[in-house]
Chain A
Amino acid sequence: MNGQSIFFSGEMLEPLPSGALYWLSNDMLVVSDLHLGKSERLARLGGALLPPYETTETLTRLAADIDRTRAKTVLCLGDSFDDAAAAASLEASHRATIAALQAGRHWIWVEGNHDPGPNDLGGTHLGEHKCAPFVFRHIAKTPCEVGEISGHYHPKARVRAASRPCFLVDSRRLMLPAYGCYTGGLKWTAPALRNLFEDQATAYLTGRRVLAVPVPRAA
């Protein structure tokens, strides 16, 4: 699509500028940390009343990626909802959007720390998903088997004063950036994140085009 691709565990994966990952040979689109319903949850907890448009924005981006890749399978890698109540109180129009996206394709919800347990939206609900040569789980395990694909940390890179959500890859693991609209990031050099990866790791920055760059040592 824009030429950039990751050769990981013997498979070709394409990181999309939006932060989604496309697995060509399996025709699968992977997105992580959508955090749908975030503004609703913050308001419910008595916090600030943020602009309630992030669910629309996130689903609009997801629809565009699905439309572009025509993926047969969509896998949401956990923290798809900001909490269970946010999933339950999703607006009818957003439910309809999700149902339309699910039509005619296989849809997998892998659970995350924000959204453990099943939701009442269609699709398959799993704790983690093994699909050789990969294992998809929300939080990276230490130590992990070769071919782990995870999310959770919201990795973010900083190059030339520009800060971008990014994919992180080494020989064993691949990590996705947060896909949701209202999501912050953890700096790629934060020890909690950097120490999960080998010294030689590569980041793929999201943005107008995907750009590859080596990950510096821990801060």
Chain B
Amino acid sequence: MPKLPGKFKDWFEARGWSVHPHQLEIAERAAEPSLLLIAPTGGGKTLAGFLPTLAELASGEHRGLHTLYISPLKALAADIRRNLGTPIADMGLPIRVEDRTGDTSVTRKKRQRADPPHILLTTPESLALLLTYEDAPGMFSGLSRVIVDEIHALAESKRGDQLMLCLAELQAMAPDLRRVGLSATVEDPDAIARFLARHPDPCPILKADPGPLPQIAMLETEELPPWSGGGGKYAIPRVLEEVRNHKTTLIFHNTRAQAEIFFHNLWLANDEGLPIGIHHGSLSREQRERVEAAMVRGELRAIVATGSLDLGIDWGDVDLVIQIGAPKNVKRLVQRIGRANHTYNAPSKALVVPANRFEVVECVAALEAVRASDLDGDPRGPGPRDVLCQHILIRACRGPFEAAEVFETFRTVGGFFDLEREEFDACLDMVATGGYALRAYDRWQRLKKRDDGRWELRDPRAAQQIRMNVGTIADTDTLKVRLKNRMGGKPLGEIEEGFAASLTPGDTFLIGGQVVRYEGLQEMTVQVTRRADRPPKIATFMGTKFATSTQLSARMLRIFRERDFSSLPKHTADWLRLQEQYSKLPEADRLLVESFPHDGRQHTCVYGFAGRNAMQTLGLLVTERMEKAGYEPLGFVSTDYAVLIWGLNQVPDPAPLFDGDNLREAFETWLRGNAVMKRTFRASATIAGFLERNWGHKRRSGRQASFSSDILYETLLKYDPDHLLLAITRDEALKGLVDFGRIEEMLTRTAGRVDHVILDRVTPLAAPLLLEVGKVPVIGAGRERLLEEETERLMSAAGLGKVQG
């Protein structure tokens, strides 16, 4: 195996670069079956990954595909193609590099299968698609290396599970395939290494010098942070000042909606007209590319962004990162800070801006964690079976297969190593026959067993349909937004269908930092104009709201326990002392519950510190139990830290409400009818091949839409409650938004020790909750009555009063 040929050293020298130690080491250990490189941003990570490939291909002897490069972003693949072009051209290497993504033309894709390049740059979804073709084994048989870029990001979702199943199949086609993973700083490198390697093989880890510790602080402002809310608007004058004092600033937000509002307000305050852009995943590709290009040319002084900028793409001269709102998760904060100062070995500079008082404590906790390099994260659970089902279909598209062989291949993926043969067979049966208690599809099975014992597609034409469904990225119902004009209109981005449905002509909303006016819907496109004569409604975007991590919550509780408020600003320290004086501070091993009257209602505040998703679930469960106990709850509101419930009666003893067994039982009944289950069912059923991905988009005028997945869920629950797809849905729902695991964690650490404090008025810590938005009404039969009142109002408004009855 060649290490680094002389011309590589010359090339580095000619550019005035020195080879980083980790780049040399990766070249020296190129023969390892798998290798994980952990390096900070700007460490020449991607080049390090490609050096062995370039060295091995330098002689020009290799025929066909040598290296597959996989990244989570299409844009990254295109970026890398350009970047690789430089050393290849400079050194005159005989290497062909191409990318293959959803944007690649059909002709080019066909050609790539017949005559693949030496290096193919692609995404997990495009790779999975390649594996549906009969000729895949021929294409990949000579494959030597696979490079997985930003593997830490892929490992966080089902895209990672899909990718690892793909790698297992590639390994079966090319047994000598070597795997290299490139990762940003993570809390548990061993877990990523296990995720990457063929299970149970070892995977050595190379760690690049992490560089100097970042310079990170909380932004000091004259105006105090507000009691509640999440926009960070109060800090705008100070943020502008920082932008002015730096070359280029990245301003990160946790949600797209907040990024939009902040950008809008920043513009209003931007008297000097500093060039500032906005970038997030709901903007059109054209909009995003324009901002990216301006950024690369160094024309922007600041970009307001969300997670869409978390990954990859080289931004050049960013010298300051500002995080607005508590980061919720230390690992993400560290990765975001890494975006600043892309030059190796220079400290990154970052400022954190708490959006409210609780977040001040969270930010201080996060800063401590960053300084202590104490990152957080949840361990990866077992591999999701819906993805497994999809891969059985992918395998079937390629031709007949032996069940035992596929089972063994899939088990080389860490997440599926513990999968029992019976569990695999249940998935295979479900994919083949539907797996229903009523055996209805004997004649119309999707897969059938041939006489030689191998499985194949009953109807080979089904392959086309299966290909359309490949992938694990949830398909949300969004509508495109365009400026209305004769030319068809400039695309601005996308909004959620539910939000679009709430708009009436004349309404205004924010998108891409502009206030636009809703004119109407045409051919499933939202048409808008720039005439903005009303204050904007706010566009709601999907995108998850991140919950404060377990580790960060624990650090906050530790600050409370140690009573050392020296690291906190005076206003926040005073607030906490006041709380101590009137009530108590929350503790990690006890559950603080406060009861007080306010505004004619009895309030109960529960400080669970379990993160917003779990606290929301807790609110729903506890109010249900309060309803049963006759406390007549009317509503609740939840944050990452607490849930505040109001109702007609005081709760005399809250302890039984938090009894673990009762809570678990209530949870099971509640879960079945829950909207989260229905949403999860839709996602899992789509991945497993029970729903077609494009169903949601067939709604053209004059055609009826296909029926909703909710109907399937309800029918299955009624007639076949033990169906495997329902079991899979439950597993997935528990991991995601329901987050019952965090409630369990809270129950374990508090172990029934409930401190009930009864007061005659609102406490300092509870007061901010009264101002929170997102109040959830507790509804009995109320929903139907609201609908009734609304229809009556509309009828009488239309002059129809009580209709012909």
Contacts and interface: CB of A to CB of B under 8 A. Distances in A.
A18 B707 CA distance: 16
Interface in A85-133: none
A47 B787 contact: no
Nearest to B438: A52
Contact of A43 (B444, B691, B692, B794): B444
Given A160-B790, A161-B501, A56 B719 contact: yes
Contact of B446 (A46, A56, A209): A46
B546 interface: no
Given A54-B715, A57-B715, A190 B701 contact: yes
B716 A51 contact: yes
A207 B785 CA distance: 12
Which DSSP category, helix, strand, loop or mixed, fits chain B's interface?
loop
A41 to B, nearest CB: 9
B719 A49 contact: no
Contact of A182 (B434, B689, B711, B786): B711
A53 B701 CA distance: 29
Interface stretch (B371-379, B457-465, B637-645): B457-465
B800 A153 contact: no
Given A190-B702, A192-B702, A49 B718 contact: no
A29 B501 CA distance: 34
A40 B444 CA distance: 8
A209 B784 contact: yes
A54 B791 CA distance: 30
Contacts of A52: 434, 436, 438, 440-441
Contacts of A214: 794-795, 798, 800
Contact of B788 (A54, A191, A209): A209
Contacts of A7: 804
B712 interface: yes
B435 to A, nearest CB: 8
A162 B787 contact: yes
Most A Cβ at <10 Å: residue of B438, B440, B788, B798: B440
A51 B436 contact: yes
Interface string A175-191: 00010011111110011
A209 B784 CA distance: 9
B690 interface: yes
Nearest to A89: B443
A3 interface: yes
Nearest to A8: B804
B715 A53 contact: yes
B396 to A, nearest CB: 12
A23 to B, nearest CB: 15
A5 B805 contact: yes
Residue from B520, B704, B784 whose CB has the most chain A CB atoms within 10 Å: B704
Contact of B803 (A43, A182, A212): A212
Contacts of A178: 704
B703 interface: yes
A141 interface: no
Given A7-B804, A214-B794, A219 B520 contact: yes
B498 interface: yes
A40 B803 CA distance: 42
Contacts of A46: 446, 458-459, 461-462, 465
A57 B438 CA distance: 14
Interface of B: 433-434, 436, 438, 440-441, 443-446, 458-459, 461-462, 465, 498, 501-502, 520-521, 689-692, 699, 701-708, 711-712, 715-716, 718-720, 723, 784, 786-788, 790-791, 794-795, 798, 800, 803-805
20 contacts: A6-B804, A40-B444, A43-B444, A46-B465, A47-B465, A49-B446, A52-B441, A53-B715, A56-B719, A154-B704, A159-B791, A178-B704, A181-B715, A185-B705, A185-B707, A187-B699, A209-B788, A212-B791, A213-B794, A214-B795
4 tightest Cβ-Cβ pairs between the two chains A and B: A49-B434, A52-B440, A192-B702, A43-B444
Given A202-B800, A211-B791, 17 more contacts: A40-B444, A48-B691, A51-B723, A52-B436, A52-B438, A52-B441, A159-B791, A161-B498, A181-B711, A181-B715, A182-B711, A182-B712, A184-B704, A186-B704, A205-B791, A207-B784, A213-B791
